[in-house]
Amino acid sequence: MKIIICLKQVPDTRNVRLDPKTNTMSREGVESIMNPYDRHALEEGVSLAAQYGGTVTALSMGPPQAAEMLKEAIACGADQGVLISDRAFAGADTLATTYTLANAVLALGAADLIICGKQAIDGDTAQVGPGLARRLDLAYASCISKIHEVRNDCLLARRMMDDGYDELEITLPALLTVVREINEPRIPSLKGKMNARKAVIKTFNAADIGADTALLGLAGSPTRVARVFAPEVRGERAMLEGTVIEQVKELAAKLEAII
């Protein structure tokens, strides 16, 4: 089974602050990490390959420093890392990103299974997984919390829903996005780290993947950011006191006033 895992390098949002004056993200001194959801996607790919046989390719579109993250993916068990990097990709929204990734997947000779994290913690759009599936015309399911079994032409998996879960039979080739509940990502092993140290990350540019530059980066991105702002912190709160009956009456009155 040929498995591709899509990974994104993101700023560690636990340490990111918005500059209140410029409303832009202050990235200074903020470490770049592997998107946490993608870590689960990688773990699932590596375990499936161990169980059913196959290869795992870690694929990322990003600046040259994303190669470090791909080495980390190799330390965690991926067989190879492929970086798609070109100045022309800069400013890509999800439409241009899926176009780029789709071309990269085709350049790699397609895959039986592509796994992505549910979303990235910086943009939080959750659009790249489904967009990529659409472009490659693959069967697709999001928010997978368990893969029960992989068969020759399909796999059985559980999809998390707001009101429970679905049990799905998904035709292969397919693209899945996964949630944190699916597994516990492993810590990079000693042998993995040694492999990663020696590993050469293959790097492709726009021409290598046969991409039309008009559809890449900012040029290929119809999304325009109108405004970025930090939501105002409203610290107002009221403590209701008295007996339960009194508190409920007061609460009801307050709610009525709002409605």
Partner 1 sequence: MDYFLTEDQQMIVEVAQQITDEKIIPCRAELDEKEEFPRDILRQIGQADLAGLYIDEEYGGYGGGCFDMVLALEQFARGCVGIATSFAANGLGAYPIILSGSEELKKHYLPLIASGEKYSAFALTEANAGSDASGIQTTAVLDGDEWVLNGTKQWITNGGEANIYSVIAITDPQKGARGATMFVVEDTDPGFSYGHKEKKLGIRASSTRELIFKDCRIPAERLIGRRGAGFITVMKTLDHSRPGIAILGVGLAQGALDEAAVYAKQRVQFGKPIISFQAVQHLLADMAIETEAARALVYAAAKHIDAHPKQMSKASSMCKVFATDMAMKVTTNAVQVLGGYGYMRDYPVEKMMRDAKILQIYEGTNQIQRNVIGQELNKEYNK
Total number of residues shown for the chain: 259
* Residues within the interface to partner 1 (CB under 8 A): 186-194, 197
- State the alpha helices, DSSP H only, in the chain: 36-52, 66-75, 94-107, 128-136, 190-198, 244-258
SS3 1: coil
Q: Least distance to partner 1 from the beta carbon of 193, Å?
A: 5
Per the structure block, which two tokens stand in for 258?
């709002």
Residue (194 or 251) nearer to partner 1, CB = 194
Q: Least distance to partner 1 from the beta carbon of 48, Å?
A: 16
- Please give the torsion angle defined by the CA atoms of residues 97, 103, 104 and 107, in that order, rounded to the nearest 10 degrees: 180
Q: Least distance to partner 1 from the beta carbon of 191, Å?
A: 5
CA 113/CA 24 separation, integer angstroms:
37
Residue (14 or 197) nearer to partner 1, CB = 197
Residue (12 or 167) nearer to partner 1, CB = 12
Residue (194 or 240) nearer to partner 1, CB = 194
Classify residue 178 by its DSSP letter.
Answer: E
Q: Least distance to partner 1 from the beta carbon of 65, Å?
A: 19
Q: Least distance to partner 1 from the beta carbon of 194, Å?
A: 7
173 preceded by cis ω (within 30°)? yes
Residue (190 or 253) nearer to partner 1, CB = 190
Going from the C-alpha of 218 to that of each of 56, 59, 228, the distances in angstroms are: 30, 21, 18
Scanning the structure block, which residue is given the tokens 């403590």?
Answer: 239
